[in-house]
Amino acid sequence: MKLIVGNWKLNPKTLKEAQKLALALNKAKTKNKVVLCPPYLYLPLIKSKFELGSQDLFWQEQGAYTGQVSGSMLKQFKVKYAIIGHSEKREVGDTDQEINLKLKAAIANKIIPILCVGFGIESGEDDEEVMIRIQNQLELDLKDVDPSKVIVAYEPVWAIGSGKAASAEHAEKTAMFIRMKFHIKKVLYGGSTNPTNAKEFLSKQIDGLLVGGSSIKADDFYKMITL
Ligand code: 13P
């Protein structure tokens, strides 16, 4: 059984479309575990037989933090997972120290964090360079965090939304490195996955996929979760 997570990012534009997307996926019969991560506002309004995840969370529980959403708030809306440290959040300022605090807040609220690594990686870097960057990121992000409670998603930033996925061999090698070196139980791959290439990733020692663009196309995601 693989874990397939749909990161809807800032999509779709309307609640109606979001509900339609979730409804279409409800028909899927799958042996995989599927998680949908819509924007915060849609979370309580999505009817899905699958589990829900948020795309982020804040590390404080309450207080003067304008615009933030806490783990305990998310928990009240049946959120089981939280994507943390996505490249698109690191790009606008999330630091490894903040990501570390967010991981701790998720775990304290019994929300399973899906920690994204791969920011700063350039296409063409060899496996060794990639492993060094990943190792540096994980050492900071996982400081004083129980790794058995964290899922890691390897998303080389150049592969995100580019239509150019990493090779399944490279993704597998990186996943094995992360599992062994950091005692992580599950490592996902993300970056330009689609119904055509998903099968190859899922045939490898990769525990699942973190899907962006293809997760908001009902037909495509349906195919991917029922592989
Ligand atoms: P794409 O699947 O659109 O490349 O996005 C991957 C991603 O960022 C998932 O979190």
- Phi, psi at residue 211, to the nearest 5°? -110, 130
- 190 alpha carbon to ligand 1 midpoint, in Å? 6
* Chain segment 119-149, per-residue pLDDT in tens: 999 988 999 999 999 999 999 999 999 999 9
pLDDT score of 218: 98
Residue 86 a catalytic site member:
yes
Give the position of tokens 């996955």. Answer: 193
CB distance 196 to 168 below 8 Å = no
Q: Residue 178 — pLDDT band, cuts 50, 70, 90?
A: very high
Mean pLDDT of 185-214: 98
* Residue 221 and residue 215 in contact, taking contact as beta carbons nearer than 8 Å: yes
Residue to mutate (ligand 1; options 3, 88, 119, 192; most atoms within 8 A of CB)? 192
Q: Are 166 and 156 in contact (CB under 8 A)?
A: yes
- Confirm if 111 and 75 have CB atoms less than 8 A apart: yes
Atom of ligand 1 lying closest to residue 162 CA: 4
Q: How far is CA 99 from CA 40, 56, 178, 207, in A?
A: 18, 10, 17, 22
Cα distance between residue 95 and residue 87, in whole Å: 11
Tokens 């004083």 identify what position?
A: 144
Query: Would residue 155 show up in a list of annotated catalytic residues for this protein?
Result: yes
Q: Can you give the pLDDT at residue 107?
A: 98
Nearest-CA neighbor of 175 among 165, 189, 164?
Answer: 189
State the greatest distance between any 2 C-alpha atoms of the chain, in Å, as a whole number: 47
Token duo for residue 62: 């309450």
Q: Measuring CA to CA, how many Å separate 69 from each of 32, 145, 170?
A: 29, 21, 35
pLDDT tens for each residue of 33-59: 999 999 999 999 999 999 999 999 999
CATH class of 3-225: alpha beta
Percent of the chain with pLDDT strictly greater than 70? 100
Q: Please name the helix (run of DSSP H) or strand (run of DSSP E) that holds residue 140, with its range, or none.
A: helix 127-141
Instruction: For residue 24, report the distance from its CA to the centre of ligand 1, in Å.
Output: 20
Q: How many CB atoms lie within 10 A of CB 200?
A: 16
- The protein residue with its alpha carbon nearest to ligand 1, atom 5, reads 212
Which alpha helices (DSSP H) does 26-91 contain, by range? 71-75, 87-90
112-124 confidence digits (pLDDT tens): 999 999 999 998 8
User: Token digits for 99?
Assistant: 């990501």
Average pLDDT over residues 175-185: 97
Q: What is the model's pLDDT at position 139?
A: 98
Where b means 16+ CB within 10 Å and e means fewer, 33-43 reads: bbbbbbebebb
Residues enclosing ligand 1, CB less than 6 A? Answer: 7, 86, 155, 160-161, 190-193, 210-214
Q: Is the pTM of this model over 0.85?
A: yes
For the segment 94-104, what is each residue's pLDDT rounded down to a tens digit?
Answer: 999 999 999 99
